[in-house]
Amino acid sequence: MKKTEDFVVTAVDDRFTGLTPSDLNEAEKQSAVTLAMKVLAIKHRAGRSLSNPEETRNYLRLRLADYQNEVFGAVFLNNRHRIIAVRELFQGTIDGASIHPRVVVQQALTMNAAALVVFHNIRAVLLNLATQMKPSLES
């Protein structure tokens, strides 16, 4: 709700309604992604509860979208599913990452986490799917 000069309360319009990616230039698209990351980071900062799996999935997708190498990490949660921390635990190469479960457990115990959500961008699988599908798309 927004107050106008006449002190009449009106509903605030969504300034992005009807806007499509084709309406934006590259700089505006990058600004939109940056803004989305800031909004999602606020919703996923320490102390916040993970209440919506879709928001968490979107946050992690945006966070990992531009990585050129594989990354494995975790969102550490307390017993009320409030975020303690979001950590990238392992960095890999373009086609693989070595994961050590012992390190994941050590981090969870150090943070006194009751639960965790693990994430991993699997770039090699996406690259393989793209190259496997390319010949079938051309025929």
Which residues contact residue 117 at a Cβ distance below 8 angstroms, ignoring those fewer than 6 apart? 50, 56, 74, 75, 77
On whether residue 13 sits in a domain, the answer given is no
Domains identified in the chain, total number? 1
Do 50 and 97 contact (CB within 8 A), yes or no?
no
Interval 4-56: pLDDT, tens: 555 555 556 777 788 888 888 888 888 888 887 787 777 767 777 777 888 78
pLDDT(109) > 50: yes
Range of the domain at 118: 23-138
On whether residue 111 sits in a domain, the answer given is yes
On whether residue 121 sits in a domain, the answer given is yes
On whether residue 8 sits in a domain, the answer given is no
On whether residue 17 sits in a domain, the answer given is no
More confident residue, 3 or 24: 24
- We report the CATH number of the domain holding residue 53 as 3.40.140
